[in-house]
Amino acid sequence: MLRQSPASPLLSLPGAVPAEAPDEGVAAHYGDLFREQRALADGSGFVDLSHRGVVTVTGAERLSWLHLLLTQHVSDLPPGQATEALILSAHGHIEHAVSLVDDGETTWMHTEPGMQEALIAYLESMKFFYRVEVADRTDEIAVVHLPAGSIAEAPAHTVVRETPHGRDLFLPRAGLEAFADAHGPAIGVLALEALRVEAHRPRLGMETDHRTIPHEVGWIGSAVHLQKGCYRGQETVARVHNLGKPPRRLVFLHLDGSEVHLPPHGTPIRLAADGEEGRQLGFVTTSARHHELGPIALALVKRNVPVDAPLMAGGTAAAQEVVVEP
């Protein structure tokens, strides 16, 4: 059973509605989902991600050691440069996804809620003679996301992870309420998820299952460096890259807006021509209501599904856009 982070004090803010799995412990929204999405898209407000696991690695050999374990090239990672990386099984299946930055003395990582203990257990098992220390900082450090374009200033001495999609701040958990007072409005995770789906960005546990490889969801390049080896699962990455044939591919779906309910994670994907009794060709990974695009989703389908074929997500008609080329 995954150990959840402490519930956020920002759940006491007016209008806060608690999020459901896998985002328990923070707010899904604060009363107006589309207003929150528009604010986030315009670079306003912040998203409380204090439910995510926070792990640090210290020691002079931390980057050279992590370089041997992660799919990303981090041995020479400059201080302040953000990246993301995966940990794979021996067969190349995705086990962990981390968002990381190094401040010159410490490597900071955040990962999916509750996954930090399993991540730490793996890292500890691989320490051997390396001079590194791994620590779970989840109970004392909270992640806060500022959108791209935000002019908010990070508090002094805050570790910042800056990406094209915005800035992740590693804040003392005790300072969350003061940060909210200074940098509101608070925005729920549903708004961030809608923008993530729009941007076709995968998330561990949503766009992945126990057999997902990086090629299927578009993590080659952003989280997997193809010019390095020496990590578990690298043989699978190289073989599939050279053959160019991952068994499944991520697609973006425009859903029928007349449906009241969104298809939940795991909803079967079939060809529209085959109807609801047709063969399952994939499943919905994340669905969302977008303030401009309407109901949208990401889905993982078999490689040989025609790229122009109308689909059905459960009982909902869906038009697909290619995210990962077949």
Domain CATH number, residue 267: 2.40.30.110
Structure tokens at 127: 């320490």
From 246, 281, 314, the end of a domain falls on: 246
Pair (52, 174) in one structural domain: yes
Domain count, the chain: 2
Pair (132, 31) in one structural domain: yes
pLDDT digits (tens, 9 = 90+) for 170-219: 999 999 999 999 998 999 999 999 999 999 999 999 999 999 999 999 99
Pair (69, 190) in one structural domain: yes
Pair (2, 100) in one structural domain: yes
Pair (121, 258) in one structural domain: no
Pair (170, 271) in one structural domain: no
pLDDT digits (tens, 9 = 90+) for 17-67: 999 999 999 999 999 999 999 999 999 999 999 999 999 999 999 999 999
pLDDT digits (tens, 9 = 90+) for 129-151: 999 999 999 999 999 999 999 99
Pair (259, 154) in one structural domain: no
Domain housing 7: 1-246
Pair (20, 98) in one structural domain: yes
3-state secondary structure of 62: helix
Domain CATH number, residue 5: 3.30.1360.120
From 219, 246, 273, the end of a domain falls on: 246
Pair (104, 32) in one structural domain: yes
For residues 165 and 145, what is the distance between their CA atoms, to the nearest angstrom? 10
For residues 33 and 80, what is the distance between their CA atoms, to the nearest angstrom? 32
Report the residue count for the chain: 326
Q: Which residue is listed with tokens 């450090």?
A: 141
Pair (163, 265) in one structural domain: no
Pair (85, 195) in one structural domain: yes
From 180, 211, 246, the end of a domain falls on: 246
Pair (35, 180) in one structural domain: yes
Residues sharing a CB contact under 8 Å with residue 304, sequence separation 6 or more, in sequence order: 326
